[in-house]
Amino acid sequence: MAAQYDNTDEFRGASFTSATFAAATFRDCDMRRIKIVDSLLVDVNMSGDVRNFLVNDVDVTPFVEAELDRRHPERTQLRAMRTADDFRAMWDTIERLWSGTVARAERLPEAARHERVDDEWSFVETLRHLVFATDAWASRTILDEPMPFHRLGLTHTGYPPTDAAALGIDLDARPSYAAVTEARAGRMALVRGIVDGLTDTELARRCTRAPAPGYPEEPRSVGDCLRVVMEEECEHRRYMVRDLAILEAR
């Protein structure tokens, strides 16, 4: 069995020479300032927050960002948000895009909606995570509710399971698609209510709660929190479009 290293800083500052990482998986890892020299990088698949990424001394980040914007023009709209009207228009776009994506998923068998592709979150798990993201960044921060978390929400990978349990979240739950979509519909309606009543003044209002216990205590405006919700919506839909294509091909 291949070795597994979880929650370790054992390799900080390490040097690897003539080592093989063939077929290795790095998930939720801090890989800043890594230098790879004279190595074989063939059939490599990488995703994450990519900046200043040099390949053979060429920064490929602008090429990657431009191609993602071409494939998903909502990313450009997201970055351009400034006013309350911009946020409302962005949520209109998100609702429209997810409506089409959900329709695609619902043409698949129920089992496929629970199926992981390359060990990434399934469609159902992704919806569960967006429930949590809305609870954290809209209900708790913007609406100032201390414990708004739905039992079927799904925290991000690095969030401690004991902390999730303290929020009333059941990470081991295996809910039906119908149960998850019911929770998801309520959260989308909640954001719709927020953006419908949004003003430019409200965008600047400071929120007093962190999104969940363990998050940094730092100033966050309503606009900042809504932007996180919408970024989560756009990025996770992008992943789902990718994985649905594979599930449909099967």
The reported pLDDT for the residue numbered 36 is: 84
Task: State both tokens at 171.
Answer: 């990470």
Q: Which amino acid is at 31?
A: M
The reported pLDDT for the residue numbered 121 is: 97
The reported pLDDT for the residue numbered 1 is: 66
114 and 41 in a single domain? The answer is no
The reported pLDDT for the residue numbered 8 is: 87
**Domain residue limits at 41:** 1-76
1 and 111 in a single domain? The answer is no
The tokens 């993602």 sit on which residue? 68
The pTM of the full predicted model, rounded to 2 decimals, is 0.87
List, for the chain, all residue ranges whose pLDDT scores fall below the cut of 50.
Answer: none
120 and 49 in a single domain? The answer is no
85 and 207 in a single domain? The answer is yes
> Which of 39, 59, 76 corresponds to the end of one domain?
76
Q: Pick left, alpha or beta for residue 153 (phi over 0 → left; psi -120 to 50 → alpha; otherwise beta).
A: beta
> Which of 41, 76, 111 corresponds to the end of one domain?
76
44 and 155 in a single domain? The answer is no
The reported pLDDT for the residue numbered 165 is: 97
219 and 140 in a single domain? The answer is yes
49 and 34 in a single domain? The answer is yes
Domain count of the fold of the chain: 2
3-class SS letters over the chain? CCCCCCCCCCCCCCCCCCCCCCCCCCCCCCCCCCCCCCCCCCCCCCCCCCCCCEECCEECHHHHHHHHHHHCCHHHHHHCCCCHHHHHHHHHHHHHHHHHHHHHHHCCCHHHHCCCCCCCCCHHHHHHHHHHHHHHHHHHCCCCCCCCCCCCCCCCCCCCHHHHHHCCCCCCCCCCHHHHHHHHHHHHHHHHHHHHCCCHHHHCCEECCCCCCCCCCCCEEHHHHHHHHHHHHHHHHHHHHHHHHHHHHC
CATH number, domain at 166? 1.20.120.450
The reported pLDDT for the residue numbered 16 is: 86
160 and 95 in a single domain? The answer is yes
93 and 214 in a single domain? The answer is yes
CA-wise closest residue to 194 among 72, 75, 94, 100:
94
> Which of 44, 76, 108 corresponds to the end of one domain?
76
Do 235 and 92 meet the contact criterion of CB atoms below 8 Å apart? no
12 and 85 in a single domain? The answer is no
The reported pLDDT for the residue numbered 31 is: 84
20 and 138 in a single domain? The answer is no
195 and 178 in a single domain? The answer is yes
The reported pLDDT for the residue numbered 27 is: 83
